[in-house]
Structure 1
Amino acid sequence: MLPARTRKPPTFGHLLALLCLVVSGWLNSPMVQAADILLTGIEGSPGVQSFTQALRELRPGDNVRFQPVAELPPPGELHGDIRVILLDLPSLDWRLQDTQGPPTLVLRISRLQAQQRLSDTLAPRLSLLWSDPPPGRQLRLARILLPQVKRVGVLYDNHSEFLLKELRQAALPLGLEVVTERWDNTHDSRPLQALLKNSDVLLGLDDPDLYNPKTAKNLLLSSYARQLALIGPNAGFVKAGSLASTYSDQSDWLATLDNLLDQPPASWPRSHYPSRFKVSSNAQVARSLGIEQINEASVAALLAEGERHP
Structure 2
Amino acid sequence: MPLLRLIMLALAYLLPLCVWADSIVMVAPRETALTRNFVEALSSRLPTDTFEVRLLSSTPAPDSASLLITLGQEALHWRLRQPIVTPTIATYVTLDGLQQLHDEVRPASVQILLASAKPERQIILAQLLIPRLDTIGLMFSEQQRWQTRFWQAAAIQRGVNLYSRGIPGQDQLPRVLTNVLNQSEVLIGLDDPALYNAENLKTLLLTSYARNRVLIGPSAPFIAAGSLSTTYSSPENMADSVIDMLQETWRPAAIRYPDRFSVLSNQQVARSLGLPPPDDAELMRRIHAQEQSR
TM interval, short-chain normalised: 0.7 to 0.9
Contact 2:187 2:213 in 1 (8 A): yes
Residue 97 of structure 2 is matched in structure 1 by: 113
Higher RCO (C-alpha under 8 Å, 6+ residues apart): 2
Distance 1:201 1:93 in 2: 36
Distance 1:178 1:121 in 2: 33
Structure 1 residues 119, 295: closer, same or farther in 2, change over 3 A? farther
Contact 1:128 1:271 in 2 (8 A): yes
Structure 2 residue 55 is the aligned partner of structure 1 residue 68: yes
Q: Please point out which of 179, 185, 196 is paired with 1:200.
A: 185
| 3-state SS of paired residue (2:29) | coil
Contact 2:38 2:238 in 1 (8 A): no
Q: Please point out which of 262, 267, 287 is paired with 1:283.
A: 267
Tell me which structure has the larger Cα radius of gyration.
1
Q: Deviations over 1:127-161 (max 9, x none)?
A: 11011111001001101100132111100112211
TM-score of the superposition, structure 2-length normalised? 0.86
Q: How does 1:116-195 map to 2 (within 5 A)?
A: 116-118=100-102, 122-188=106-172, 189-195=174-180
Distance 1:165 1:121 in 2: 22
Residue 216 of structure 1 is matched in structure 2 by: 201
Residue 37 of structure 1 is matched in structure 2 by: 24
| 3-state SS of paired residue (1:220) | helix
**Root-mean-square deviation (Å):** 2.2
TM-score of the superposition, structure 1-length normalised? 0.82
| 3-state SS of paired residue (1:190) | helix
Structure 1 residues 38, 215: closer, same or farther in 2, change over 3 A? same
Q: Deviations over 1:235-257 (max 9, x none)?
A: 11111111110011111111111
Distance 1:286 1:120 in 2: 43
Distance 2:143 2:259 in 1: 26
Structure 1 residues 267, 165: closer, same or farther in 2, change over 3 A? closer
Percentage of matched positions with identical amino acids: 30
| Counterpart amino acid of residue 77 in structure 2 | D
Q: How does 1:287-302 map to 2 (within 5 A)?
A: 287-302=271-286
Distance 2:255 2:269 in 1: 34
Q: Which runs of 5+ in 1 are unaligned?
A: 1-29
